[in-house]
Amino acid sequence: MSVLDLCQWLQATSIGTYIRESEKLFPIINGIHVLGLALSVGTIVWFDLRLLGVSMRHRSVSEVFAGVMPWSFVGFAVMFISGGLLFWSEAVRAWSNPFFKIKLAFMLLAGLNALAYQLTLYPRMADWDKLPIPPRRARLAGLLSIIFWTIIIAAGRTTAYTF
């Protein structure tokens, strides 16, 4: 079974059909997706700007992390679930769209960047936590995160408008 076959099956299920054909449900899910995106990425960008040493220099990195990450995780969960439902309803069209594949590729890169941060920089944060400008690798992680999420959002919005 190919990915396209799986997409055709998923889209043809009663749930996929119901979401796609509903006059109200699809736009509501789409709106929830955008709100989840704003909450998740908005809070991640606050943290990334602290990593870059651009904002909140008077606060430790760990303090900013503790303040924004719970909200970011909530936003990400909302975004992930609502995005999954949107994909479920139009899987074939989404999978066939090159912008959707760009979005997925950069989501993978954003995830790998976050994982690399958690495995290599986070354990040593006590060494540089209170510095106004964190070390180069931390700044790079923040910059890459902002770049990747900007591309994800642009590709996602382009996907939505090229159906």
Map out the domains of the chain as residue ranges.
Answer: 3-160
From residue 135, give the alpha-carbon distance in Å to each of 32, 78, 129. 36, 32, 10
> Which pLDDT score, from 0 to 100, does residue 162 have?
81
Q: How confident is the model at residue 114 (pLDDT cuts 50, 70, 90)?
A: very high
pLDDT band at 161 (very low <50, low <70, confident <90, very high): confident
d(CA 101, CA 151): 12
pTM: 0.92
146 confidence band (pLDDT: 50, 70, 90): very high
Average pLDDT over residues 77-87: 97
What tokens were used for 34? Answer: 């955008």
Q: Which tokens is 15 given? A: 């749930």
> Distance between CA 153 and CA 131 in Å, rounded?
31
Residue 160: per-residue pLDDT:
84
Q: What is the mean pLDDT of the chain?
A: 96
- Please count the residues of the chain: 163
- Tell which residue, 146, 135, 80, 83, has the closest CA to residue 113: 146
Q: Give yes or no for residue 154 having a pLDDT over 80.
A: yes
- Listed in sequence order, the residues at least 6 apart from 72 whose beta carbon sits closer than 8 Å to its beta carbon are 39, 40, 43, 44, 47
pLDDT at 17: 97
At 29 the pLDDT is 97
